[in-house]
Amino acid sequence: MGSHGIVLFAHGARDARWAEPFERLCARLLALRGSDVGPVSLAFLELMTPDLPTAVAAQAAAGASIVTVVPVFFGQGGHIRRDLPVILDQCRAANPGIEIRCSTAVGEDDDVIEAIAAYCLRQTS
């Protein structure tokens, strides 16, 4: 059985510095999880590379049998509701031997909301 990979899926931007927090998140996740469990990588909807199909294909080539896509979006707008399902279908069609899962947008998680609220409160002290 192969490993279980994680792809952090973000929007992308023209400014390369925009990706820095996502790169730090990816590195932190890899440090917490360990590379022996499975690959962790970034993918972008637009304006940056790699795109999601490329990232999923790379994880499949690295031996992942399951890939969980984690949308690193604050909410579930049009990109998550409309664009992401189409891209996921393309990934599944291109990688029939891989189970591709997708979580909700990180901003929809109650613990994430709590962490952001705590951050906001720290700014007032």
Decide: helix, strand or coil at residue 9: strand
C-alpha of 66 from chain center: 14
The length of the chain, given as a count of residues: 125
Cα separation, 86 vs 106, whole angstroms: 19
Burial zone of 59 (CB within 10 Å; 0-12 exposed, 13-18 middle, 19+ buried): buried
Q: 3-122 has which fold?
A: Rossmann fold (3.40.50)
Q: Which helix (H) or strand (E) is 33 found in, with range?
A: helix 20-33
95-121 per-position pLDDT tens digit: 999 999 999 999 999 999 999 999 999
**pLDDT class for 35, splitting at 50, 70, 90?**
low
Q: Scan for tokens 């579930």, then name that residue.
A: 76
**pLDDT class for 1, splitting at 50, 70, 90?**
low
CA dihedral sign of residues 117, 118, 119, 122 = positive
Cα separation, 24 vs 21, whole angstroms: 5
pTM of the model: 0.93
Return the higher-pLDDT residue of 98 and 36.
98
71-94 per-position pLDDT tens digit: 999 988 888 999 999 999 999 999
Domain ranges across the chain: 3-122
Give the pLDDT score at 76. Answer: 86
> Residue range 6-24: average pLDDT?
97
